[in-house]
Amino acid sequence: MAEAPEKSFRVLPRVTAANEHFWRGGAEGVLRFLRCGDCGTWVHPPSPICPSCHGKGLTPEAVSGLGTVATWTLNHQPWVPASDHPYAIAIVELDEQSGLRLMTNVVGCAAEAVHIGMRVRVVFEEHDDVWIPLFEPVEA
């Protein structure tokens, strides 16, 4: 299977029934997380039980895709044969809920421009049947 040359090499996740809402939401341009139907808590990574109320009525729901960089680091090491080193590895917290975070890359700006508190929005990078959620800066 050939990759488009402009895409970075990525180790792709194993897509299962429990997480495909997350990895394939990008096909429709939306980022989805499980949400508890009882108390409204967003749950990530996927779990069969709500950590807040122990309810089992979790279903995928789309978020706005807007968030804030909570922390980040620059990766200078060519661990993988990507052409775009260094790049910024970030933990982004989604607007929907304090603590609803995912590890991702910030793209669309110089890696050195990434900072804590930076406003970002989701973009997707498609690899086969997986849509990797990445984030790009939102202009103020």
Return the residue of 18, 39, 82, 138 that touches Zn ion, per CB under 5 A.
Answer: 39
Is the CB of 58 or the CB of 114 nearer to Zn ion? 58
Q: Is 44 in the site for Zn ion (CB under 5 A)?
A: no
53 lines the binding site for Zn ion (CB under 5 A) = yes
Which residue pairs, CB below 8 angstroms and at least 24 apart, start in 55-62?
Answer: 58/34, 59/34, 59/35, 60/21, 60/22, 60/25, 60/32, 60/33, 60/34, 60/35, 61/32, 61/33, 61/34, 61/35, 62/25, 62/30, 62/31, 62/32
Among 52, 59, 64, 71, binds Zn ion (CB under 5 A): 52
- Which part of the chain contacts Zn ion (CB under 5 A), choosing from 36-44, 66-74, 90-98, 107-115? 36-44
Give me the residues that bind Zn ion (CB under 5 A), please: 36, 38-39, 41, 50, 52-53, 55
